[in-house]
A and B are shown apart, each in its own frame.
With several copies, the nearest count.
Chain A
Amino acid sequence: MVDPRVSIIDERMRDIRKVIAVSSGKGGVGKSLIASILGLTLAKKGYKVGLFDLDFTSPSTHIILGIEGVQPKEDKGIIPPKVHGLEYMSIVYYSRDQATPLRGADVSNALIELLSITKWGKLDFLVLDMPPGIGDATLDLIRLIKKAEFLIVTTPSQLAFETVKKLASLLNGLRVPIVGVVENMKMNQSETIRQQTQKLGLTYLSGIPYDPNIEKTIGKTNRLLDTRFAKKVEQIVPSL
């Protein structure tokens, strides 16, 4: 017995120029905020952009982007609605944002299902908001989307950077491209993470300061784009 879904995924990704997986071994480092703002920024620059929230048990990009009351259309597959200039896909369309306890095998199945039925069409960028940890979603992404590139997020904390090292070593071992490392929630001008990143042979893309006011802009895309956070995310674009 063969699972036919994996045979169509290449076809579904065919017209997507770049797939950027925003990831980190660690949770709470700002992956979802960076993925959301990176998506908005690219769209504002005129690119065709998709954003796909792959944190199925704790999705948050719909909250960051204030997305409510939209659903995909069905047309020989499912067509993500365009919201704030992004073709936006999330499991919340189907879980209605209720608790969705999923084991790894379920995460894998849901990911494969959505990859095989979603019709993104032509995109310049598909941004993926990854869950924390190195588990089913990350492994399936590596396995199924050969053109995926990883953008790794860390904070200045040792605790975060340790998991980043592990993720980078996994990706390097498999020759999966790493766009570079973003250091988020910087509290001071320390160069430590920049240096450690370069020592790993990785590109240091941007250092985003801790901004106590970011919380107030959540759910409001115009205000999100007006923050210093967004300016710092914009610095990443030329490296993509």
Chain B
Amino acid sequence: MHEWALAEAVIAAAAEAAEKERLKEITEVWIKVGELQQVELDILEFALSQLKTDKFKNAKFKIATAKAELQCRVCGHKWVFNKETLDKDAAEAIHFVPEVAHTYIKCPKCGSPDFEIIEGRGVWLESIKGAK
């Protein structure tokens, strides 16, 4: 349920972006959600709908997900995060703070925890559309 806090951030960031572009109304908000964080999309969507301010009253929220791709800094190996290979507690911890992936996940090829999350971390505001 901390998805609510993330939704608040998205609304705040979209409002800021609209301000910058001098939009009176926001019609579309494109959001990208990385799978590493295992955000519950229906809760996120519900929260977004509840948090709508006036500017967003006709806004559609378009959510795309991105696979979480990890790359080892030691051996260069790339792989995709698979929640099923983790125990429940570890998966939940990563849900809150994706960086603790470095505690629970190791490079499947060389065993190093020194990998980069090259894609699929967190919630991003891709773009907004609206009317001036």
Contact = CB atoms under 8 A, between A and B. Distances in A.
A contacting B, Cβ–Cβ less than 8 Å = yes
Interface stretch (A38-46, A107-115, A156-164): A107-115
A155 to B, nearest CB: 25
Nearest to A97: B103
For the side of the interface on B, what is the size category? 35 or more
A4 B96 contact: no
A199 interface: no
Contact residues of B: prevailing secondary structure? helix
Contact of B124 (A4, A77, A95, A107): A4
Interface string A3-19: 11111100100000000
A75 B99 CA distance: 21
Contacts, number: 122
Contacts of A116: 5-6, 9
A93 B90 CA distance: 11
A96 B93 contact: yes
Interface in A102-147: 102-103, 106-107, 109-110, 113-114, 116-117, 119, 139, 142-143
Contacts of A114: 97
Contacts of B99: 56, 100, 102, 106-107, 109-110, 113
A170 interface: yes
A173 B106 contact: yes
A149 to B, nearest CB: 17
A101 B103 CA distance: 7
B4 A91 contact: no
B108 interface: no
Nearest to B1: A74
B9 A8 contact: yes
Contacts of B121: 109
Given A7-B9, A100-B102, A139 B124 contact: no
B16 to A, nearest CB: 5
Nearest to A75: B1
Contacts of B106: 173
Nearest to B31: A4
For the side of the interface on A, what is the size category? 35 or more
Contacts of A107: 99
Contact of B111 (A91, A110, A113, A173): A173
B74 A143 contact: yes
B93 to A, nearest CB: 4
A97 to B, nearest CB: 9
A82 B44 CA distance: 27
Nearest to B126: A1
Contacts of B16: 7
A77 B4 contact: yes
A75 B8 CA distance: 13
Q: Which 6 A-B pairs have the closest CB atoms?
A: A4-B13, A77-B5, A76-B4, A8-B9, A7-B13, A94-B93
Interface of A: 1-8, 11, 56, 74-78, 91, 93-96, 98-103, 106-107, 109-110, 113-114, 116-117, 119, 139, 142-143, 170, 173-174
